[in-house]
């Protein structure tokens, strides 16, 4: 290339791009850095021009086309990502809006349900309450008639009236149960540290006094304490231990236990007996109002006890569940606030 002019080597187009800068370098003596693009071959160059001596300058150019393309591609991908982010943010905002609407609706429905529940409770309370008076009249006059008019009534008449009295007593029991159920949900909670062991020992003693000769081994763990409401826990334990006492009555010997579970369900309290037990397939009905898994002739009851227990335990922020097997006893577990079923 020596001895030839730059225009001859690089061509007119290249020189028309470089020459103005080269002239400036010659005029000012200051080096220049710049990027150029040649439409003819579509390539990009990074060039540096500086003076070698007053009469010669040097131009060094590096092909940066690949780098430029990579940068352009990165910018495109960035723009795409930006767009994707915007779409996602839009979707997130939509989900948040929907969630907020849903929460609002749940709040409204819960408030409606709570109001309806309160109304129902008040209604069932006053109905049960108002039903008592006429029922007492029916029972009272039937008994009076049985006592004073037995002769006139004859044997068949007395038998019929006997059944009226029995039905009135049963209805009175049902109403009492309904009232108690309603009271358990309506009464004010009084939170305190409750000594479950002591409550259970007193209840066990009273149960045993109803039939002192019954061989029942009571195993009540000591020191069982929990934050609860003493009156409500008294009702719950009376029902749980009462059930254990009742459903072991047909076994020659029995063992009734109050303790705290280890392993699965750890921390939960439990009342266990080795009595009649029940079929686990029916366990779903245990806590339903007026539902019983045993026949009235085998074990008397109205089927309200465990419904009461469930309401009490739930009010105290816990859970209750049962396990059993036919003729192998039953265990009712319950947690109180801050405990969990595992």
Ligand X SMILES: Nc1ncnc2c1ncn2[C@@H]1O[C@H](COP(=O)(O)OP(=O)(O)OP(=O)(O)O)[C@@H](O)[C@H]1O
Footprint on this chain of ligand X (rule: CB under 6 A): 239, 243-244, 247, 273, 275-278, 286, 292-294, 301-307, 324, 330
Q: Decide if 138 contacts 144 (C-beta within 8 A).
A: no
User: Closest separation between CB of residue 236 and ligand X, Å?
Assistant: 11
- Round to the nearest angstrom and report the end-to-end CA distance of the chain: 88
Q: Which two tokens stand for residue 176?
A: 């009492």
List the one residue out of 238, 244, 243, 276 whose CA is nearest residue 257. 244
Question: With CB under 5 A, what is the number of residues at the site for Mg ion?
Answer: 2
Between 142 and 329, CB nearer to ligand X: 329
Between 229 and 273, CB nearer to ligand X: 273
Residue nearest to Mg ion (CB): 305
Contact partner, 22, from Mg ion, ligand X, none, Cβ < 5-8 Å per class: none
Contact partner, 265, from ligand X, Mg ion, none, Cβ < 5-8 Å per class: none
Contact partner, 247, from ligand X, Mg ion, none, Cβ < 5-8 Å per class: ligand X
Restricted to residues 127-186, the positions that interact with Mg ion (CB under 5 A) are none
Restricted to residues 305-324, the positions that interact with Mg ion (CB under 5 A) are 305
Q: What share of the chain is helix, strand, coil (3-state, %, to 5)?
A: 55, 20, 25
Contact partner, 168, from ligand X, Mg ion, none, Cβ < 5-8 Å per class: none
E-state strands within 169-244: 192-195, 216-220, 225-228
User: Closest separation between CB of residue 239 and ligand X, Å?
Assistant: 6
Site string for Mg ion, 209-248 (x = CB under 5 A): ----------------------------------x-----
Contact partner, 273, from Mg ion, ligand X, none, Cβ < 5-8 Å per class: ligand X
List the one residue out of 162, 161, 176 whose CA is nearest residue 302. 176
* CA distances from residue 263 to 72, 247, 259, 266, 313 in whole angstroms, order as listed: 63, 26, 13, 5, 21
Give φ, ψ of 249 to 5 degrees. -60, -25
Contact partner, 286, from ligand X, Mg ion, none, Cβ < 5-8 Å per class: ligand X
User: Closest separation between CB of residue 310 and ligand X, Å?
Assistant: 9
Q: Decide if 196 contacts 229 (C-beta within 8 A).
A: no
Give φ, ψ of 2 to 5 degrees. -60, 140
Q: Decide if 241 contacts 271 (C-beta within 8 A).
A: yes
Catalog residues that contact Mg ion under the rule CB under 5 A: 243, 305
């Amino acid at each position: 290339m020596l001895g030839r002019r730059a225009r001859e080597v690089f061509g007119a187009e290249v020189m028309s791009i470089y020459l103005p800068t080269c002239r400036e370098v010659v005029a000012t003596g200051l080096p220049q850095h710049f990027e150029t693009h040649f439409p003819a071959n579509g390539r990009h160059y990074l060039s540096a021009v500086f003076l070698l001596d007053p009469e010669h300058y040097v131009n060094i150019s590096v092909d940066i086309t690949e780098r430029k393309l990579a940068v352009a591609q990165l910018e495109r991908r960035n723009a795409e990502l930006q767009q994707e982010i915007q779409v996602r943010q839009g979707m997130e905002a939509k989900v948040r809006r929907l969630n907020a609407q849903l929460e609002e609706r749940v709040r409204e429905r819960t408030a409606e349900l709570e109001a309806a529940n309160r109304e129902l409770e008040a209604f069932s309370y006053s109905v049960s309450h108002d039903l008592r008076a006429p029922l007492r009249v029916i029972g009272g006059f039937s008994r009076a008639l049985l006592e004073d008019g037995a002769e006139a009534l004859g044997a068949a008449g007395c038998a019929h009236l006997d059944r009226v009295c029995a039905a009135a007593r049963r209805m009175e029991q049902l109403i009492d149960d309904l009232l108690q159920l309603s009271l358990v949900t309506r009464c004010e909670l009084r939170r305190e540290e409750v000594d479950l062991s002591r409550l259970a020992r007193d209840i066990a003693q009273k149960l045993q006094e109803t039939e002192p000769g019954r061989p029942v081994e009571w195993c009540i763990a000591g020191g069982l304490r929990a934050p609860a409401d003493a009156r409500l826990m008294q009702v719950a334990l009376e029902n749980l231990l009462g059930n254990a006492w009742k459903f072991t009555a047909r076994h020659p010997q029995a063992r009734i236990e109050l303790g705290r579970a280890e392993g699965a369900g750890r921390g939960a309290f439990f009342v266990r007996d080795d009595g009649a037990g029940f079929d686990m397939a029916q366990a779903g009905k245990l806590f339903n109002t007026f539902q019983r898994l045993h026949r009235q002739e085998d074990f008397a009851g109205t089927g309200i006890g465990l419904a009461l227990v469930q309401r009490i335990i739930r009010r105290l922020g816990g859970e209750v569940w049962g396990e059993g097997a036919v003729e192998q006893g039953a265990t009712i577990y319950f947690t109180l606030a801050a405990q969990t079923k595992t």
